């Protein structure tokens, strides 16, 4: 049984159906990258998983299983006890995630006290060392930390109970490249040492490619493609993934021009009935506009939500040509 | 509750507030024709027996006060002064405050420093003690109360308006207007002012509340105009004749009217606050 | 006058018409009331009558009643109130006065003698700024009689003169006396017995404190708690500007003579006195009186005190400088007072007000105490010789006095505490809850009825010589016309004022400046002015006044 | 001195200078007001009839009321700087001797009242802003609304009538029972009598003061809940109470700044409550001295209130820095 199993998860904000019937699984010790444009629902998925949906958001269907236990139906106290022990979280905006009016040591102690006894100060110092922060910084306040240092602090805090699953929501956004590198190394090292599973949410395919064994692509609240990172990147099966792939410069083909996908994601209030990508898809057929899509399993185990999934390889060749994308829609 | 909806209908509590406020204003306007008795007339029961401190019921719906005057009539006619002073003071407060804020925020530089220094001084003055000083030294009259309230309470409107104008003047539409050759006055009053209107109306409401409370308090201390009946002066009469604890029908109504009227104003103010600061609506 | 919308708007307009311009209590009236000496007879409609009074609750009500009844003569009456300060300042201080000004006077001991109300209120000498004849009633014949009665030592002859003066005032009508409001206090008869009703002081006021000398404690509570409005401002008897402060200090520094319960003069710190002729009075000091520090009270102290007053000319004791020439010691217990001019009121108003100050203390004041005049010396622990001795004074809270058992008339209670309770509501509640035993100020009928409902409390109402009056401005039309003033008298319903404002606890003043309760001096055959609007209108008609179509009063055509 | 401290000191000096300027303008304003308007200290004595006119003139000269205004003003300023507030016209004693006990009484009432109100405001406001949609929120809003709309003196009267006149649990007014002879052991406790007199005025004052801090705290709490660090705290599995306390610590900042403004309004309520409860504080003293045209005392009382308001605002600035580390450094 996999560590994390999300089944048929749907989330609605008022009339907007931000997430529709998303299912994915994550085994212990493995990592899954979650990519998509902003507004694709990737952060909503992470928050729903952690039970941190804002007041306006509601889970309308689906289950989130950790070791087979559905977090959504768990009693608050039971959920609270699992938090940070089973699954920890590195927030996107580390800038104001830390409580501005208390120092780091205090924030460590509060988290330690919430779960079990232990010498929080020593543990904090050890974790700070692991993330390359001097112990003296424990007495300082969040506003005294730089962006990168603050992100490292949150990572250290996430490691407090050696959680089995770490959810990282675009931890490197807003950091300069050098600091990004340090943060990514930290995450990779943390995973390897502790065999910790990781769900890495990002809009940057390059980072996911480097860090995650498997990758899932979200578009307009639907999971369009999920599979091994290598497969998804080398031979994308879903036209949207192809578009993404062509939008990223590839070191192997320096002179290839990057393409952009015309149009914009559809409104999700109410959400489209058929394939959400159809209006922008260069390979769309009448069927795509009419019939809802269900995920098909490819020989290499990938799941693709596309009527023409079987012709993926051919379509990918055609997608290489820039003019294909000009006549789309 | 979307902002547009808010503008047209307001929140349920806002609508209740508006209804109460309208009711009070209507009563105030129609008071002279609603009076069961002459508020200042001494009423008698039977031949020569003074109707002094009679509890509610019978001929006097809300009973009579120490001097045999009908309390319901005094409440009705009193509403004119209390509400009149409230509205008038609030309008003056907001007029001064908004203009000071506009000029200071828009022109900045020396004018801003001068006006803001003036505002700081106004903030340094403890309001009510100063009001007592001014009214006691002048003569007891409603106009002195209005002057006293207005010449101090404009300070908070000025400071908030200035802050908003400072941010608004940097906005694109203001720069566009200036480039289009609009005069300073036009920019201030045609372009900037409408944007701070919700906040200004919020302070009109708060101004009315404070003005009504101040008038009642000053009248209660005996600085009101004795010839004019107001809710505050009714409580002053009750207090100086030592009837507070016995004549509940004389003490409760004026106090309740003041409180209910101020509540209605605060309810309306909350709606304006939501419009001025939508984020609170979550 | 029905409370029509128009009249309210007028009140609103009247109020708004004032203060918006330069602040100034009676500024509006200045314009209208310039004191034109020779005014040619006015014609046309009679202008609105301006009535000014302090914003004391009773006068607010009286003004409302007067506006109602006087308007029935076809005139509009505008009543306006000012703070105590602004009215006293403008009217008494500057003699700036509208048509009519209403003020009330307390029942102080030195106003029982007729000289006070006659001379201070109506003598031409007092028609100058700061004087109490702010109505500017100038009548040489009246001045002559007023001065004569001052000098007349024979009581019978003096009374004839005083009666004559009252008759002149009754015909000239410079003043309307509404009522002599009773002095009413309540006391806890379960705890104390033997209260003494006294003219002007009632049973509880400090003016003439027979109650506090005669009352007997019935329970273990031997210190009486008195709830009073005002508080004292000084413990220095030479500097007491105000009557409550002055009379309370006289509990520690007793005066030479005092007033009995019905106002007759009685010996107090003096055993007896003898007026040889109008200008010399011999007085015998009471034997055995001792200061609180054990030193005997001697004639040397008496002479020292009067010389001290003559030397420093204390404002609060100006009456001594007015009349006293010198003091001479005749024997170890007798002194002789030589007066500048014969004064019938010397005994009641000077010997009834002055006291003995211990020479061994006051002789070195101001001395090194760095105070400009003795009046500024705080006298923090006063050394007196009276029935009560000073214990403690907490400003704004209370003054505590302790009984002096070896005073010749030793009080039976152990002490008295004057509580400062500035609102009537709390005073009544303290009486009902037992926190206070007796009231030190006056209450009115309704409040008395409320306290009488409690079995252990009893309210006693005693006539007083303090009056509620209104003064006419003798130099301002239409009130300068005697006929108009008489009409106003007829249009004043004194009975209603007493019933409504004082709930019956007051004597109808019968238009006399001396209260009928002051039996010896009050002139019984002063013609009373009956309340009748018809009579009032007849008086106006006889004087040539007419009414226009709208019922508005017109001046007589010359 | 490090740059940081230098900058802080400079900012403090500027604030102090501005406060002094404000106070100087107030002093002049009040001084002028008394002179411009009718009546002077001797007026009060006219009515008593004790003082014939010439005696009044002697008094005016003794109190130097006839000196040219400018001389009086400069003399007043000179004395003020030295701390000599002059002699009270009514009590003929140094003003400081009269003001000092009145100030103590005022603070005796105001300090507990303001402290309790702020604490109550923070705790209840936090709870109100935290539990969304609960019935308690609706009730809380109604209570805040009513409390903000009640006139201060009316609260005083109602409290007095209920707890003192009717139930008799507490004394009727004033600050102590004169000649108080403690019988039971409770009454032996020092200050018991004053405490008993203090209960009702403080209760009324808290009812009057608590509304604003409560409302500000609730609004600040509503905003704090949406902050990222609250979600992050929840994510870390902290208990609901711990999370609320974190939000509350951040939401408290606007309430602290409000205390400065609150004190200036507090004096208003204070004047009214002192009159209703016969509390011999500065508020009542000021009203009485204004009525008696006792310039020095009225001016001093008002000046002291203004200085206290300015002082508290300064203290609030400093406290704010200590509470919010972000401010402490700049």
- Smallest CA–CA distance, residue C133 to chain D, in Å, is 11
> Which pLDDT score is estimated for C455?
95
> How many other CB atoms are found less than 10 A from the CB of residue A264?
11
Q: Which of chain D's residues have a Cβ under 8 Å away from the Cβ of B127?
A: 264-265, 267-268
Residue C37 banded pLDDT, cuts 50, 70, 90: very low
Query: pLDDT (tens digit, 9 = 90+) per residue, C117-147?
Result: 888 899 998 888 878 899 999 999 999 999 8
Q: Is D306's CB within 8 Å of B124's CB?
A: yes
Question: D175 to chain C: nearest residue by CA?
Answer: C397
Q: Is D320 exposed, middle or buried (0-12, 13-18, 19+ CB in 10 A)?
A: middle
Q: Enumerate residue ranges in chain A where pLDDT < 70.
A: 93-95, 327-329
Please check whether residue A27 is in contact with residue A207, taking contact to mean a CB–CB distance below 8 angstroms.
no
Helix (H) or strand (E) holding C536: helix C533-542
In this prediction, residues C502-507 reach a mean pLDDT of 87
**Which residues on chain C place their C-beta less than 8 Å from a C-beta of chain B?**
2-5, 8, 11-12, 14-16, 18-20, 23, 25, 55, 57, 60-61, 63-65, 68, 79-83, 86, 423-425, 427-429, 443, 446-447, 450, 496, 499-501, 503
> Which pLDDT score is estimated for C281?
92
Q: Is C touching A (3+ C-beta pairs, cut-off 8 A)?
A: no
- The structural domain count of chain A equals 2
Is ipTM > 0.95 here?
no
Nearest Cα residue to A98 out of A50, A141, A54: A141
Q: Is B2 a member of any domain?
A: no
Clarify whether residues A176 and A80 are in a common domain.
yes
Which residue bears the tokens 């009086």? Answer: D72
Q: Is B7 a member of any domain?
A: no
Q: Is C20's CB within 8 Å of B241's CB?
A: no
Which residue bears the tokens 């409180």? Answer: B259
> Which pLDDT score is estimated for B8?
57
> How many other CB atoms are found less than 10 A from the CB of residue D18?
15
In sequence order, which residues have a C-beta less than 8 Å from that of residue B17 and are 6 or more positions away? Answer: B263, B264, B265, B266, B267, B268, B270, B271
Residues 110-169 of B with CB under 8 A from C: 136-144, 147
> Which pLDDT score is estimated for C28?
42
Q: Is B11 a member of any domain?
A: no
3-class DSSP state of C282 = strand
Q: Could you tell me if D179 lies within 8 Å of chain C, comparing CB atoms?
A: yes
Q: Is C63's CB within 8 Å of B244's CB?
A: no
Question: D91 to chain C: nearest residue by CA?
Answer: C233
Q: Which of chain C's residues have a Cβ under 8 Å away from the Cβ of D164?
A: 429, 433
Residue C23 banded pLDDT, cuts 50, 70, 90: very low
Q: Which residues of B196-225 are buried (b: 16+ CB within 10 A; e: fewer)?
A: bebbbbbbbbbbbbbbbbbbbbbbbbbbbb
Q: Could you tell me if B259 lies within 8 Å of chain D, comparing CB atoms?
A: yes
Q: Is B226's CB within 8 Å of C60's CB?
A: yes
Q: Could you tell me if B141 lies within 8 Å of chain D, comparing CB atoms?
A: no
Clarify whether residues A168 and A245 are in a common domain.
no
Q: Which of chain D's residues have a Cβ under 8 Å away from the Cβ of B282?
A: 222, 226
- Smallest CA–CA distance, residue B175 to chain D, in Å, is 32
Clarify whether residues A174 and A224 are in a common domain.
no
Low-confidence winner among C76-80, C306-310, C370-374, C531-535 (lowest mean pLDDT): C370-374
Q: Is A114's CB within 8 Å of D239's CB?
A: yes
Residue C327 has pLDDT above 90, yes or no: yes
Q: Is the dihedral of CA D306, D310, D315, D320 positive or negative?
A: positive
Residue among B64, B65, B74, B242 with most chain C CBs within 10 A, to mutate: B242
Q: Which of the other chains make 3 or more beta carbon contacts under 8 angstroms with chain C?
A: B, D
Q: Which of the other chains make 3 or more beta carbon contacts under 8 angstroms with chain B?
A: C, D
Residue C3 has pLDDT above 80, yes or no: no
Q: Is D232's CB within 8 Å of A98's CB?
A: yes
Q: Enumerate residue ranges in chain D where pLDDT < 50.
A: 1
Mean pLDDT, chain B, integer: 84
Q: Which two tokens stand for residue A129?
A: 């060392």
- Smallest CA–CA distance, residue D294 to chain C, in Å, is 11
* Residue where one domain finishes, among candidates A157, A185, A212: A212
Q: Is B14 a member of any domain?
A: no
Q: Is B52 a member of any domain?
A: yes
Q: Could you tell me if B118 lies within 8 Å of chain D, comparing CB atoms?
A: no
Query: pLDDT (tens digit, 9 = 90+) per residue, A226-269?
Result: 989 888 888 888 888 888 887 777 777 777 777 777 777 777 77
Nearest Cα residue to B151 out of B100, B226, B205: B100
Q: Could you tell me if D239 lies within 8 Å of chain A, comparing CB atoms?
A: yes
CB nearest B266 (choices: D19, D149, D223): D149
Clarify whether residues A188 and A227 are in a common domain.
no
Q: Which of the other chains make 3 or more beta carbon contacts under 8 angstroms with chain A?
A: D
Residue C171 dihedral angles phi and psi, to the nearest 5°: -85, -40
Residue C40 banded pLDDT, cuts 50, 70, 90: low
Q: Domain limits at B145?
A: 25-281
Q: Could you tell me if D233 lies within 8 Å of chain A, comparing CB atoms?
A: yes
For the domain that residue B231 is a member of, what is the CATH number?
Answer: 1.10.3720.10
Q: Could you tell me if D148 lies within 8 Å of chain C, comparing CB atoms?
A: no
* Residue where one domain finishes, among candidates A181, A212, A243: A212
Q: Which residue has the higher pLDDT, B75 or C80?
A: B75
Q: Is B82 a member of any domain?
A: yes
Residue C284 banded pLDDT, cuts 50, 70, 90: very high
Residue among B65, B83, B141 with most chain C CBs within 10 A, to mutate: B141
Clarify whether residues A175 and A202 are in a common domain.
yes
Which residue bears the tokens 């009269």? Answer: D98
Clarify whether residues A208 and A220 are in a common domain.
no
Residue among D151, D230, D270 with most chain B CBs within 10 A, to mutate: D151
Query: pLDDT (tens digit, 9 = 90+) per residue, C223-265?
Result: 999 999 888 888 999 988 778 889 999 999 999 999 988 888 8
Clarify whether residues A153 and A61 are in a common domain.
yes
- The structural domain count of chain B equals 1
Question: C399 to chain D: nearest residue by CA?
Answer: D178
Query: pLDDT (tens digit, 9 = 90+) per residue, C463-474?
Result: 999 899 999 999
Q: Is C16's CB within 8 Å of B240's CB?
A: no
> Which pLDDT score is estimated for C252?
94
* Residue where one domain finishes, among candidates A165, A191, A212: A212
Clarify whether residues A27 and A45 are in a common domain.
yes
Query: pLDDT (tens digit, 9 = 90+) per residue, B80-94?
Result: 988 998 899 999 999
- Smallest CA–CA distance, residue D247 to chain A, in Å, is 9
Residue B243 has pLDDT above 50, yes or no: yes
* DSSP-assigned states of every residue in A150-211: HHHHHHHHHTTT--SEEEEESTTTTS-HHHHHHHHHHHHHHHHHHT-EEEEEES-HHHHHHH
Clarify whether residues A294 and A259 are in a common domain.
yes
- Smallest CA–CA distance, residue B21 to chain C, in Å, is 23
Please check whether residue C442 is in contact with residue C505, taking contact to mean a CB–CB distance below 8 angstroms.
no
In sequence order, which residues have a C-beta less than 8 Å from that of residue D190 and are 6 or more positions away? Answer: none
Residue C103 has pLDDT above 70, yes or no: yes
Q: Is D149's CB within 8 Å of B120's CB?
A: no
Residue C22 has pLDDT above 60, yes or no: no
Q: Is D90's CB within 8 Å of C233's CB?
A: yes
Distance CA A171, CA A153 (A): 12
Q: Is B16 a member of any domain?
A: no
Clarify whether residues A301 and A190 are in a common domain.
no
Sheet holding A4-13, edge to edge: A16-26, A4-13, A57-66, A69-70
Q: Is B5 a member of any domain?
A: no
The reported pTM is: 0.79
Q: Is D touching B (3+ C-beta pairs, cut-off 8 A)?
A: yes
Q: Domain limits at A52?
A: 4-212
Nearest Cα residue to B100 out of B170, B164, B154: B154
Q: Which of chain C's residues have a Cβ under 8 Å away from the Cβ of B39?
A: 3
Residue B149 has pLDDT above 80, yes or no: yes
List strand residue ranges (DSSP E) for A27-117, in order.
31-35, 57-66, 69-70, 87-90
Q: Is D39's CB within 8 Å of C420's CB?
A: no
Please check whether residue C62 is in contact with residue C525, taking contact to mean a CB–CB distance below 8 angstroms.
no
- Smallest CA–CA distance, residue D269 to chain C, in Å, is 18
Query: pLDDT (tens digit, 9 = 90+) per residue, C164-212?
Result: 999 999 889 999 999 999 999 999 999 999 999 998 899 999 998 899 9
Distance CA D84, CA D81 (A): 7
* DSSP-assigned states of every residue in C78-136: EEEEE-HHHHIIIIIIH----SEEEEE----GGGSSTHIIIIIHH-GGG-STTSS-TT-
Q: Is the dihedral of CA C365, C369, C375, C378 positive or negative?
A: negative
């Amino acid at each position: 049984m996999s560590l994390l199993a999300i089944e048929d998860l749907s989330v609605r904000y008022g009339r907007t159906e931000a997430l529709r019937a998303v299912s994915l699984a994550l085994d212990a010790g493995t990592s899954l990258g979650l990519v998509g444009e902003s507004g694709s629902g990737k952060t909503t998925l992470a928050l729903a998983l952690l039970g941190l949906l804002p007041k306006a958001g509601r889970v309308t269907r689906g289950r989130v299983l950790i070791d087979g236990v559905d977090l959504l139906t768990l009693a608050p106290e039971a959920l609270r006890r699992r938090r940070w022990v089973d699954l920890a979280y590195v927030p996107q905006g580390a800038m104001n995630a830390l409580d501005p009016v208390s120092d780091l040591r205090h924030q460590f102690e509060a988290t330690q006290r919430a779960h079990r006894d232990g010498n929080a100060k020593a543990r904090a110092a050890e974790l700070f060392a692991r993330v390359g922060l001097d112990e003296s910084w424990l007495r300082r306040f969040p506003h005294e930390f730089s962006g990168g240092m603050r992100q490292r602090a949150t990572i250290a805090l996430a490691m407090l109970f050696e959680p089995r699953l770490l959810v990282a929501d675009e931890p490197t956004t807003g950091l300069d490249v050098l600091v990004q590198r340090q943060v990514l190394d930290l995450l990779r090292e943390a995973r390897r040492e502790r065999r910790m599973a990781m769900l890495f949410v990002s809009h940057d395919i390059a980072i996911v490619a480097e860090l995650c064994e498997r990758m899932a692509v979200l578009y307009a609240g639907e999971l369009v493609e999920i599979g091994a990172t290598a497969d998804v990147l080398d031979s994308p099966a879903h036209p949207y993934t192809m578009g993404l792939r062509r939008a990223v410069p590839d070191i192997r083909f320096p002179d290839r021009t990057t393409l952009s996908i015309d149009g914009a994601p559809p409104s999700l209030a109410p959400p489209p009935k058929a394939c959400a990508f159809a209006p922008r898809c260069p390979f769309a057929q009448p069927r795509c506009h009419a019939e809802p899509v269900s995920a098909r399993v490819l020989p290499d185990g990938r799941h693709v939500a596309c009527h023409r999934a079987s012709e993926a390889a051919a379509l990918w060749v055609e997608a290489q040509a820039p003019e294909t994308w000009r006549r789309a829609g | 509750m979307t902002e547009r909806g808010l503008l047209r209908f307001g929140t349920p509590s806002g609508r209740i507030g508006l209804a109460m406020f309208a009711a009070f204003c209507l009563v105030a306007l129609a008071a002279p024709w609603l009076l069961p008795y002459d508020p200042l007339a001494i009423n008698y029961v039977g031949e020569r027996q003074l109707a002094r401190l009679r509890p509610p019921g019978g001929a006097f719906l809300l009973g009579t006060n120490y001097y045999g005057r009908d309390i319901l009539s005094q409440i009705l006619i009193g509403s004119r002064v209390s509400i009149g002073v409230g509205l008038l003071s609030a309008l003056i407060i907001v007029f001064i405050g908004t203009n000071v804020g506009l000029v200071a925020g828009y022109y900045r530089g020396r004018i801003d420093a001068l006006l803001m220094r003036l505002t700081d001084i106004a903030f340094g003055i403890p309001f009510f003690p100063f009001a007592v000083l001014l009214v006691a030294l002048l003569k007891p009259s409603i106009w002195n109360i209005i002057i006293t309230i207005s010449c101090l309470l404009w300070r908070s409107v000025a400071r908030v308006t200035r802050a908003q104008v400072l941010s608004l003047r940097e906005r694109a539409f203001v720069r566009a207007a200036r480039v289009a050759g609009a005069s300073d006055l036009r920019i201030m009053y045609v372009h900037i002012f409408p944007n701070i209107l919700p906040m200004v109306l919020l302070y009109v409401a708060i101004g009315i509340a404070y003005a009504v409370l101040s008038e009642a308090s000053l009248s209660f201390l005996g600085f009101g105009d004795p010839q004019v009946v107001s809710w505050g002066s009714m409580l002053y009469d009750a207090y100086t004749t030592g009837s507070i604890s016995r004549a509940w029908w004389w003490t409760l109504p004026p106090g309740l009217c003041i409180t209910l009227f101020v509540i209605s104003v605060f309810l309306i103010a909350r709606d304006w606050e939501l419009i001025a600061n939508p984020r609170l609506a979550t | 006058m029905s409370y029509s919308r128009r009249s309210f708007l007028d009140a609103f307009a009247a109020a708004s018409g004032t203060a918006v311009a330069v602040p100034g209590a009676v500024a509006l009236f200045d314009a209208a009331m310039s004191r034109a000496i020779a005014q040619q007879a006015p014609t046309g409609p009679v202008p609105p009558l301006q009535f000014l009074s302090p914003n004391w609750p009773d006068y607010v009500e009286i003004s409302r009643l007067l506006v109602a009844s006087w308007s029935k003569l076809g005139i509009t009456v505008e009543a306006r109130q000012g703070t105590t300060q602004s009215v006293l300042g403008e009217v008494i201080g500057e003699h700036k006065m509208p048509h009519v000004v209403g003020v009330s006077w307390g029942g102080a001991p030195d106003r029982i003698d007729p000289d006070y109300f006659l001379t201070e209120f109506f003598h031409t000498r007092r028609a100058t700024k700061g004087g109490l004849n702010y109505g500017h009633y100038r009548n040489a014949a009246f001045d002559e009689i007023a001065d004569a009665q001052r000098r007349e030592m024979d009581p019978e002859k003096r009374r004839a003169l005083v009666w004559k003066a009252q008759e002149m005032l009754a015909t000239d009508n410079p003043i309307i006396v509404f009522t002599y409001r009773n002095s009413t206090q309540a006391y806890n008869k379960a705890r104390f017995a033997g209260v003494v009703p006294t003219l002007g002081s009632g049973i509880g006021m400090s003016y003439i404190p027979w109650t506090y000398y005669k009352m007997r404690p019935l329970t273990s509570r031997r210190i009486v708690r008195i709830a009073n409005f005002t508080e004292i401002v000084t413990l220095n008897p030479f500097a007491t500007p105000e009557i409550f402060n002055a009379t309370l200090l006289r509990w520690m520094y007793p005066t030479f003579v005092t007033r009995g319960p019905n106002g007759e003069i009685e010996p107090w710190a003096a055993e007896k006195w003898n007026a040889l002729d109008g200008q010399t009075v011999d007085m015998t000091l009471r034997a055995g009186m001792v200061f609180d520090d054990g030193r005997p009270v001697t004639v040397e102290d008496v002479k020292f005190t009067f010389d001290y007053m003559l030397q420093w000319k204390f404002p609060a004791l100006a009456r001594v400088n007015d009349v006293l020439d010198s003091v001479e010691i005749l024997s170890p217990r007798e002194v002789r007072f030589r007066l500048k001019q014969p004064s019938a009121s010397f005994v009641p108003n000077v010997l009834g007000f002055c006291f003995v100050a211990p020479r061994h203390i006051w002789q070195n004041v101001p001395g090194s105490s760095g105070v400009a005049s003795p009046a500024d010396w705080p006298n923090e622990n006063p050394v007196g010789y009276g029935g009560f001795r000073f214990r403690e004074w907490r400003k704004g809270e209370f003054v505590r006095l302790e009984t002096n058992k070896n005073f010749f008339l030793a009080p039976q209670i152990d002490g008295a505490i004057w509580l400062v309770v500035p609102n009537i509501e709390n005073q009544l509640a303290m009486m009902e809850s037992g926190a206070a035993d007796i009231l030190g100020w006056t209450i009115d009928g309704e409040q008395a009825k409320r306290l009488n409902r409690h079995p252990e409390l009893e309210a006693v109402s005693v006539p007083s010589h303090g009056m509620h009056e209104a003064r006419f401005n003798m130099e301002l039309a239409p009130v300068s016309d005697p006929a108009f003033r008489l009409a106003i008298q007829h249009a004043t319903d004194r009975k209603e004022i007493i019933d409504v404002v004082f709930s019956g606890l007051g004597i109808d003043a019968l238009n006399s400046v001396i209260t009928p309760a002051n039996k010896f001096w009050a002139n019984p055959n002063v013609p009373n002015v009956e309340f009748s609007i018809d009579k009032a209108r007849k008086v106006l008609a006889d004087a040539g006044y007419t009414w226009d179509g709208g019922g508005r009063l017109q001046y007589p055509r010359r | 001195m490090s740059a940081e401290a230098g900058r802080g000191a400079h900012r403090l000096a500027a604030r102090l200078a501005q406060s002094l300027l404000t106070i100087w303008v107030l002093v002049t304003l009040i001084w002028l007001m008394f002179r411009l308007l009718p009546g002077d200290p001797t007026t009060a004595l006219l009515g008593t009839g004790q003082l014939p006119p010439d005696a009044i003139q002697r008094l005016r000269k003794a109190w130097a009321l006839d000196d040219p205004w400018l001389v009086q003003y400069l003399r007043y300023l000179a004395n003020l700087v030295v701390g000599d507030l002059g002699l009270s016209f009514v009590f003929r004693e140094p003003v400081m001797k009269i003001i000092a006990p009145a100030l103590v009484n005022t603070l005796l009432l105001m300090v507990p009242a303001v402290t309790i109100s702020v604490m109550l405001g923070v705790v209840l406001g936090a709870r109100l802003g935290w539990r969304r949609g609960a019935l308690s929120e609706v009730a809380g809003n109604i209570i805040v609304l009513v409390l903000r709309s009640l006139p201060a003196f009316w609260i005083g009267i109602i409290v007095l009538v209920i707890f003192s006149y009717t139930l008799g649990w507490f004394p009727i007014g004033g600050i102590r029972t004169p000649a108080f002879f403690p019988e039971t052991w409770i009454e032996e406790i020092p200050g018991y009598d004053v405490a008993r007199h203090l209960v009702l005025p403080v209760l009324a004052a808290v009812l009057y003061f608590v509304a604003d801090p409560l409302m500000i705290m609730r609004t600040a709490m509503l905003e704090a809940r949406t902050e990222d660090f609250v979600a992050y705290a929840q994510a870390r599995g902290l208990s609901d109470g711990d999370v609320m306390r974190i939000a509350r610590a951040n939401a408290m900042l606007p309430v602290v700044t409000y205390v400065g403004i609150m004190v200036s309004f507090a004096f208003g309520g204070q004047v009214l409550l002192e009159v209703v409860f016969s509390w011999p504080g500065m508020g009542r003293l000021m009203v009485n001295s204004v009525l008696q045209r006792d310039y020095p005392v009225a001016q001093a009382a008002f000046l002291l209130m203004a200085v206290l308001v300015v002082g508290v605002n300064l203290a609030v600035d400093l406290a704010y820095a200590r509470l919010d580390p972000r401010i402490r450094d700049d």
